[in-house]
Structure 1
């Protein structure tokens, strides 16, 4: 996921060839130990941060997103339209 952009867990699951496995993506990211992996760019489908509000992880995710220019209001980010991906533009609804 490029800097300054966000996606939902389900979107990442579909891109990985695992439609319907959003929770698997969330579980994998929660166990991540690679500091370079941009876990903070992945959110719930409604744009909410999945971590408990006010927790250290929640605050870190907000800070990282804002540092990349992403607008975060009340723990929520405006998500891109579902068909805004390059795949959708080329291949149509999937």
Structure 2
């Protein structure tokens, strides 16, 4: 695993329960781009809380939205919507790292 991937996974691992960061926030903190963050999570993010990384509108990756919702509810993550359009309230759940 390369240094950028290690930084991204470390940042994602440090996001507290019930909080989220956007792909852009993680990318900025890791010194890479948002797409790279997505690729790293897709390839190597199985052991980190991947559901705590959302897009700029607060939505988790579409293919895993149902699984992310279960984690959000378990962690009492503030949500704006559930069901078919899971969306996190970024104003209340955004994490500062």
TM-score computed with the length of structure 2 as normaliser: 0.68
Q: Which runs of 5+ in 1 are unaligned?
A: 87-94
User: Any runs of at least 4 consecutive aligned residues in structure 1 with deviations exceeding 4 A, and if so which?
Assistant: none
Residues 1:2 and 2:16 are matched in the alignment: yes
Partners of 2:18 and 2:78 within 8 A in 1: no
* Structure of higher CA gyration radius: 1
Match of residue 62, structure 2, among 47, 51, 76? 51
Partners of 1:7 and 1:80 within 8 A in 2: no
Q: Which runs of 5+ in 2 are unaligned?
A: 1-14
Match of residue 96, structure 2, among 67, 85, 88? 85
Between 1:25-34 and 1:42-51, the stretch displaced more is 25-34
Match of 2:73 in 1: 66
Higher helix share: 2
Instruction: With a CA cutoff of 8 Å and minimum separation of 6, indicate the structure with the bigger relative contact order.
Output: 2
Match of 1:31 in 2: 43
The DSSP-based 3-state class of the residue aligned with 1:32 is helix
Give the Cα–Cα distance (whole angstroms) in 1 for the partners of residues 78 and 57 of structure 2. 14
